[in-house]
């Protein structure tokens, strides 16, 4: 019948656009069942096309509620899944697993690794004491080694200012100046110092004129700051009761740092030089001065067999020298834009970060001790 054929074709063309009751696309089996139901309804010819679609959908609806596995040979297009929210996937798959945070070493209020700082400080103190009282060549070796490492640290730091400093003249000065001070005294030290400056100048001239002025001035500064000042320790060693005088001067330098730190942390409110070292306060400086005077009076009386007031005088000048040394190195590091000279000593930074105050205290201690000895000999 022409009418029946037209209805059948219209119905069949409309079937694929009809979804199941839950709105999901029909599987092939559901579509086949729907077509069969439509063909039966078309043969009957008793229902309108819209009613035929409703009956076909009702006939297939129960089948859609049961998920039948697709036939092996017939690929079934899975319904599109909703797009998941954007998830940032790390490039490294191992990074997706959060690793437990590593245990950080305990730091002091000054931002240092306190256990490591104590251990390194105790080791350095033990080596110095062994060289002072038991094996003098060890002390000479330590002075040469520390001087060479200090020169290397400062020369390395000057690269932040795009300055190149020849290292060989610095190492020669670090070795020759302490030995000349030990064997030849103050005159030999002065002569070796001048020769070291001349060698540094000649080495730099052989490298060309570009940047020569900054390089030569840096070499003069480093040789004057590190090996020259440190060599005064061996001049003190050759004086009367030299071992005990060095021990007293080092004790005063340590007392300056210790009392200044404690009083500064507890009571510090007025910074001395906020643009150079904002953590150093006038209260801490007063604590350094009073604590060093107490230690100096006791040390000069019991160790040096000198009047107690000589310890107060020595402590007064060494405290000023130590504070000046601290500010000097802080100023250099701020100018170069660095925090520490190096990281050779855990908890301390570099060698120069520990020698900043000692370098200024040693030559001034040498001068004050000689003046005190001379004044006492006149009385």
In a domain, 100, yes or no: no
46 and 176 part of one domain: no
Tell me what the mean pLDDT of segment 61-78 comes to: 44
40 and 159 part of one domain: no
In a domain, 348, yes or no: yes
Query: So what's the pLDDT on residue 148?
Result: 95
In a domain, 24, yes or no: yes
pLDDT over threshold 80, residue 86: no
Angle between helices 308-336 and 282-302 (to 10 degrees): 140
| Banded pLDDT at 25 (limits 50, 70, 90) | low
> Which among 43, 63, 83 is the end of a domain?
63
Tell me what the mean pLDDT of segment 355-365 comes to: 90
pLDDT over threshold 50, residue 64: no
Of 113 and 232, the structure prediction assigns the larger pLDDT to 232
33 and 133 part of one domain: no
Of 296 and 370, the structure prediction assigns the larger pLDDT to 296
Domain span at 45: 2-63
| Banded pLDDT at 174 (limits 50, 70, 90) | very high
Q: Find, among 162, 128, 29, 160, the residue nearest to 354 by Cα.
A: 128
45 and 126 part of one domain: no
In a domain, 358, yes or no: yes
| Banded pLDDT at 1 (limits 50, 70, 90) | very low
pLDDT over threshold 80, residue 45: no
In a domain, 102, yes or no: no
> Which among 21, 41, 63 is the end of a domain?
63
Q: Rounded to whole angstroms, how far apart are CA atoms 190 and 177?
A: 8
pLDDT over threshold 80, residue 152: yes
Of 320 and 79, the structure prediction assigns the larger pLDDT to 320
| Banded pLDDT at 8 (limits 50, 70, 90) | very low
233 and 331 part of one domain: yes
Of 310 and 124, the structure prediction assigns the larger pLDDT to 310
45 and 118 part of one domain: no
Under a CB-based contact definition with an 8 Å cutoff, are residues 265 and 114 in contact? Answer: no
Looking at the structure of the chain, the number of domains it has is 2
pTM metric for this prediction:
0.67
187 and 281 part of one domain: yes
Query: So what's the pLDDT on residue 114?
Result: 67
Strand residue runs (E) in the chain? 271-273, 277-281
Half-sphere exposure of 215 (CA within 13 A, CB side): 22
22 and 126 part of one domain: no
163 and 234 part of one domain: yes
27 and 140 part of one domain: no
Query: So what's the pLDDT on residue 150?
Result: 93
For residue 345, give the 3-state DSSP assignment. Answer: strand
Tell me what the mean pLDDT of segment 64-87 comes to: 46
In a domain, 83, yes or no: no
pLDDT over threshold 70, residue 311: yes
> Which among 63, 79, 99 is the end of a domain?
63
Q: Rounded to whole angstroms, how far apart are CA atoms 315 and 296?
A: 6
Torsion angle, alpha carbons of 255, 257, 260, 266, to 10: -110
In a domain, 78, yes or no: no
175 and 53 part of one domain: no
* DSSP conformational letter for 339: S
Query: So what's the pLDDT on residue 116?
Result: 72
Tell me what the mean pLDDT of segment 315-344 comes to: 89
Q: Rounded to whole angstroms, how far apart are CA atoms 258 and 246?
A: 18
Neighbour count for residue 94 (Cβ, 10 Å): 7
Of 295 and 18, the structure prediction assigns the larger pLDDT to 295
In a domain, 351, yes or no: yes
Q: What's the mean per-residue pLDDT of the chain?
A: 78
| Banded pLDDT at 24 (limits 50, 70, 90) | low
Query: So what's the pLDDT on residue 160?
Result: 87
185 and 252 part of one domain: yes
């Amino acid at each position: 019948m022409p009418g029946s054929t037209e209805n059948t074709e219209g119905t069949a063309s409309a079937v694929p656009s009809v979804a199941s009751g839950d709105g999901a696309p029909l599987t092939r089996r559901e579509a086949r069942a729907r077509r069969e139901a439509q063909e039966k309804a078309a043969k009957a010819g008793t229902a309108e096309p819209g009613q035929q679609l409703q009956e076909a959908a009702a006939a297939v609806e129960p089948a859609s509620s049961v998920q039948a596995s697709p036939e092996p040979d017939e690929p079934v297009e899975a319904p599109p899944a909703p797009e998941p929210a954007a998830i940032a996937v790390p490039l490294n798959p191992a990074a997706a697993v959060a690793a437990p945070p590593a245990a950080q070493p305990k730091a002091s209020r000054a931002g240092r690794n306190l256990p490591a700082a104590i251990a390194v400080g105790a080791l350095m103190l033990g080596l110095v004491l062994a060289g002072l009282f038991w094996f003098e060549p060890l002390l000479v070796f330590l002075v040469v080694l520390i001087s060479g490492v200090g020169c290397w640290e400062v020369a390395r730091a000057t690269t932040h200012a795009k300055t190149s400093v020849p290292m060989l003249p610095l190492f020669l000065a670090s070795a020759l100046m302490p030995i000349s001070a030990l064997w030849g005294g103050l005159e030999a030290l002065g002569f070796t110092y001048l020769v070291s400056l001349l060698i540094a100048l000649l080495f730099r001239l052989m490298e060309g004129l570009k940047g020569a002025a900054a390089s030569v001035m840096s070499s003069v500064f480093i040789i004057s700051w590190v090996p020259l000042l440190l060599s005064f320790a061996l001049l003190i060693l050759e004086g009367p009761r030299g071992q005990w005088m060095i021990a007293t001067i080092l004790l005063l330098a340590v007392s300056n740092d210790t009392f200044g730190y404690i009083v500064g942390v507890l009571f510090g409110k007025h910074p001395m030089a906020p643009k150079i070292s904002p953590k150093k306060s006038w209260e801490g400086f007063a604590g350094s001065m009073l604590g060093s005077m107490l230690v100096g009076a006791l040390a000069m009386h019991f160790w040096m067999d000198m009047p107690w007031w000589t310890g107060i005088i020595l402590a007064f000048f060494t405290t000023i020298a130590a504070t000046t040394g601290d500010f000097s190195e802080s100023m250099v590091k701020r100018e170069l834009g660095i925090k520490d000279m190096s990281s050779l000593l855990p908890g301390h930074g570099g060698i120069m970060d520990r020698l900043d105050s000692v370098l200024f205290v040693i030559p001034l201690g040498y001068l004050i001790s000689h003046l005190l000895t001379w004044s006492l000999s006149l009385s």
